[in-house]
Amino acid sequence: MSSKPLWWVTASETVEVNNQFRIIGGEWRSRKLTFPDAEGLRPTSGRVRETLFNWLQDDLAGARCLDLFAGSGALGLEAASRGAATVIQVENSQPVIRALKANKERLKATRISIIKADTLAFLKKRVGSGFDLVFMDPPFHQNLLLPTCRLLEQNDWLNEGAKIYLEVEKRFELEGEGLLPENWQQLKSKKAGEVCYFLYQSV
């Protein structure tokens, strides 16, 4: 929990008061959106998003993006705001789906599609074109991330050179023999409090 008073919020930070977050850049810059209370829903902080989208600034225009475990929708919305051509958000909670649809309507975000599905079940059946960029920030301590990574690779969801963002709890064992796909190369990594986040590329 931040020691800053509630009014001390910069443009790059998540507004956690009253379940709000702020889009940092692009078409919808500074727009505030809401998300519901839901188990495991933990929006990527504004500071982490700012770093991530600085990493991705040359990759977003025209990209096809897949936002798995979409939650608040902050990552997918940020990508769409900054020029992604298509963003598909996958989420399993009906209350969260309702909030995602409300935010899509509020922004008139026609490039975003929202799918209600269990992420692992969704990835077991390859449908349509592959993706240039995938966001993965699953609920912590539920052993969802590594099976998701393997399904992305096994079922050919990734376009050539696709980039994959992973957000995990600080002490999560991410790299080791047989954990991540062998052809995923780590490009960036950073820590923020109790969270570690990474950018990989499928090569």
Q: What's the confidence (pLDDT) of residue 125?
A: 86
Is 33 within 8 Å of 20 (Cβ atoms)? yes
Is 17 within 8 Å of 69 (Cβ atoms)? no
- Using DSSP's 3-state secondary structure scheme, residue 26 falls into coil
Rg of the chain taking only CA atoms, in angstroms: 16
Q: Which two tokens stand for residue 130?
A: 């592959």
Q: How far is CA 172 from CA 43, 69, 145, 177, 197, in A?
A: 18, 18, 10, 15, 11
Residue from 28, 36, 37, 17 nearest 87 by CA: 28
Owner of token pair 């096809």 = 64
Residue from 71, 61, 131, 76 nearest 107 by CA: 76
DSSP label at 186?
E
Whole-structure pTM over 0.85, yes or no?
Answer: yes
- Using DSSP's 3-state secondary structure scheme, residue 78 falls into helix
Q: Which two tokens stand for residue 168?
A: 């995990």
Q: Could you give the CA distance from residue 106 to residue 55 in angstroms, rounded to a whole number?
A: 28
Q: What's the confidence (pLDDT) of residue 2?
A: 35
Q: Which two tokens stand for residue 16?
A: 């956690």
In the chain the domains, ranked by start, together with CATH numbers, are: 20-202 (3.40.50.150)
**Parallel, antiparallel, or unpaired for β 158-169 and 184-192?**
unpaired
Q: Could you give the CA distance from residue 108 to residue 130 in angstroms, rounded to a whole number?
A: 25
Q: Which ranges of the chain have pLDDT less than 70? A: 1-18, 37-43, 127, 173, 175-178
